[in-house]
Structure 1
């Protein structure tokens, strides 16, 4: 396997987690975060110190947000004879609501965050009179019947390259260096009483998706017209959006996929194939709620 150039070996992880009881992804010791638990498992399995792992995640999901396809990388000073063994060890050390779905050797130039070309988020809405108790931690409940057609019309206004200053969390606005993001698609899919909002973009500002979704819900309730979207975008002012709606709760949101160019996903020469776990393949994995 090809070394990173400084005598180390790089590894790529695909991680799924139920974010209900975690204070987000980003590392902090208290309250616990997903990264905290993954790094703890890695330090135990590799016998390395946390700082020596150079562990990086692709997306800093917020408190209560879920993930099916979070991507991360870490570095070790040694190669492995079998990545299935380290894969099994990590999942054996992690709590039941966090799982490493895949582990694979990575090229030295791969970076979980900076190599990403796009991210896909889903936001799920349970649109029925009563909330399904089995969906209560994974979908927002709207008892008001939503008009999916006008929501689709409004979602199209988000597509393209825009300044999303009006859709960034107000407390974070001063920290935004580049509020211009490129949205590649924004689909509203009807699945019986469920609405799944699928958005793919080059990147997202803090709580951007959770600020776009409630505006679409208001439009779906026919309380606002679809063309309110470009008008709010043009203001570049979060206070204008706040006149119409608040940000959506986190539990309906899931990071589904992080996409990379093929050259970033190439396996180093002479390395093992990707491990999908000892008892299943990626083709048999089913996403239960997204």
Structure 2
């Protein structure tokens, strides 16, 4: 039995998802963000007991390649504080909100975490806090290059997603575990950023909701891009949301995971903090990471400037198979996936 006092703590986590097989360690593939976090907890000896005993919870289970600047987890960690006399029999648990003299969780963990994961802040949490079920809302951002996309059309279509709807045609259906596909989107915004490359500008879609289905954001963005390319009308959103008429999801490819970012998770009475030393070290680290990526971009740009000029005589070029332009099949004319009822019936026959 541990003689250390412990306290229940919420941690705000940022990570660059490119090299990870998702956030959750149950993915059966390594590395995951979660497995790296627990390596850090063990290395710093902050973990009290094992993962199950730590009462661990996470807010969002982001997929392979998805990043976050606002993921939230909660668990019991070792504490420097002495036990209050009024802790109602919670042996070894610090229950008050005092933080003076406490372990610098942000600084300690960031010193051992890999460069693409950082703790942004910590907050004392009540022992009944749950990072997933206590969350009031989640916000995602999806970055994209404007190119020839029709932004006003995307905005019209995106605003149709706001409100409470059945989003079964905008997700990867998990009929074994999920039986309610109604979710509430509270915000849709689309705006330009100050980032440009040549004549192309980086834009961002912001979507906020109480909760999201599996791959919901990437499915919504995929359909919005079809609208932006003029391949579908904004009214296709209305049709896909009308699950009394469209019982089966048309087959379409999700938008890429790389530009997707879990931006923030909102809670009542959770205010993240960070010591001045840890905060300064965090800023230095993030600036350095930005500069590394800008250096890489400069090298790729230099390579682009040094490409061999294309010859007008096509006979001098190596043979390239003719690339057929893929014609767009309207969503409502495509093959469909099985409906929820069909999936459940199949599961019942297997059982």
Q: Residue in 2 aligned with 1:229?
A: 237
Residue aligned with 2:72, SS: strand
User: Tell me, what secondary structure is at the counterpart of 1:254?
Assistant: strand
**In the alignment, is residue 187 of structure 1 matched against residue 189 of structure 2?**
yes
1:166 corresponds to which residue? 169
Q: 1: CA distance between counterparts of 2:154 and 2:186?
A: 17
1:193-215 superposed Cα distances (whole Å, 9 cap, x missing partner): 11201000000000000000010
Output one character per residue of 1:4-45: Cα deviation in whole Å (capped at 9) or x when no partner: xxx852111000000111111112363221011111211222
Match of 2:141 among 92, 106, 122: 122
- For residue 258 of structure 2, give the secondary structure of its aligned residue in structure 1: helix
Q: How many residues are paired up?
A: 256
Partner residue of 1:137? none
- Within the alignment, does 1:246 sit opposite 2:253 as a pair? yes
**CA distance in structure 1 between the aligned counterparts of 2:71 and 2:187, rounded to whole angstroms:** 20
Larger radius of gyration: 2
TM-score scaled by structure 1? 0.80
Structure 1 residue 76 displacement after superposition:
3.3
Equivalent position of 1:197 in the other structure: 205
| Cα 1:112–1:168 shift into 2, 3 Å | same
For structure 2, the residue ranges without an aligned partner over 5 or more in a row are: 82-99, 294-351
Separation in structure 2 between the aligned mates of residue 265 and residue 247 of structure 1, nearest angstrom: 34
Secondary structure of 2:211 counterpart: coil
Report if aligned partners of 1:84, 1:277 keep a CA contact under 8 Å in 2: no
**Residue in 2 that maps onto 1:215:** 223
Q: Deviations over 1:152-198 (max 9, x none)?
A: 0000110000011111114x244312211000011111235112010
Please tell me whether residue 71 in structure 1 is matched to residue 50 in structure 2: no
Partner of 2:16: 18
Deviation string 1:217-242 (CA, Å, 9 cap, x unpaired) is 01001111101101011137685332
User: How much has 1:279 moved relative to structure 2?
Assistant: 4.8
Q: Distance in 1 between matches of 2:188 and 2:203?
A: 13
Is the Cα–Cα contact under 8 Å of residues 16 and 69 in structure 1 kept in the other structure?
A: yes
What is the RMSD computed on CA atoms of the aligned residues? 2.7
